[in-house]
Structure 1
Amino acid sequence: MNNKAFEVLQKEAPEVSEVWQQFLLKASALDEKTQNLVYLSVLSAFHLENRIPFHVKMAKMHGATRDEVISAVLVGLPALGNIVTTALSVAIEAFDKD
């Protein structure tokens, strides 16, 4: 779901959005920090840089350090090569923003 679609879902159907988000959290065995760090890795691998700032913010809110965010972005480097490095500046900028 792109950012615009997610924003519309939150605005127009907040109850559905909340239930959906809670379902995803409860369905995962990962804590919220780890889940957001993993999600950063996936976003980086798929070149979805526009979604990275939100998940950096969420990871940071749940205790992730700058080094953990950087590591999450770069974890795919051996498998994917430099493709993930394009997300690095986006993630660092988002982390340092607050």
Structure 2
Amino acid sequence: MKVTTGFQMFMEESGEVGKAYSQLVQTMAQSSALDKKTHALAYISALAAAQMTGGLAFHVMMAKQVGASRDEVRDAVLVGLPAVGLAVLEALEVALNAYDESETA
């Protein structure tokens, strides 16, 4: 799976900070009380609510690899709709396109 160019640059240019960030992400995932699929879907919800669509396709693919369905990805994006409003709609398009494209790749 391909990460965004911005994230790749961050990891290449930030030295110890990038390593520490990577370790943080791994530690959080390993120590989470959530199963892998639920964790991935929750992260998609957070990205959608924060309007961070750059890495969304990557995380949709991660969720799909651990068993998330298209409907679960859709609902993970939309779960924040009452709290943050229509801001999640851009993420909906990105997420579902990423899910669908992976079926043909």
TM-score normalized by the length of structure 2:
0.77
What is the 5 A alignment of 1:8-27? 8=12, 19-27=23-31
Q: 1:92 aligns with which of 91, 96, 99?
A: 96
User: Following superposition, which runs of at least 4 residues in structure 1 exceed 2 angstroms of deviation?
Assistant: 15-22
Structure 2: which 5+ runs fail to align?
A: 1-5
- 1:11-70 residue CA offsets vs partner (Å, 9 max, x unmatched): x78x86775443122221011111110000100011100110011000000000000000
Q: Percent identity?
A: 43
Aligned residues: 94
Q: CA deviation at 1:80?
A: 1.1
What is the 5 A alignment of 1:56-67? 56-67=60-71
TM-score normalized by the length of structure 1:
0.82
CA RMSD, 1 decimal: 2.3
Which residue number in structure 2 is paired with residue 81 of structure 1? 85
**SS at the partner of 2:55?**
helix
Q: Distance in 2 between matches of 1:74 and 1:41?
A: 7
Which residue number in structure 1 is paired with residue 40 of structure 2? 36
Structure 1: which 5+ runs fail to align?
A: none
- 1:65-93 residue CA offsets vs partner (Å, 9 max, x unmatched): 00000000000001111011110000001
Q: Distance in 2 between matches of 1:60 and 1:79?
A: 25
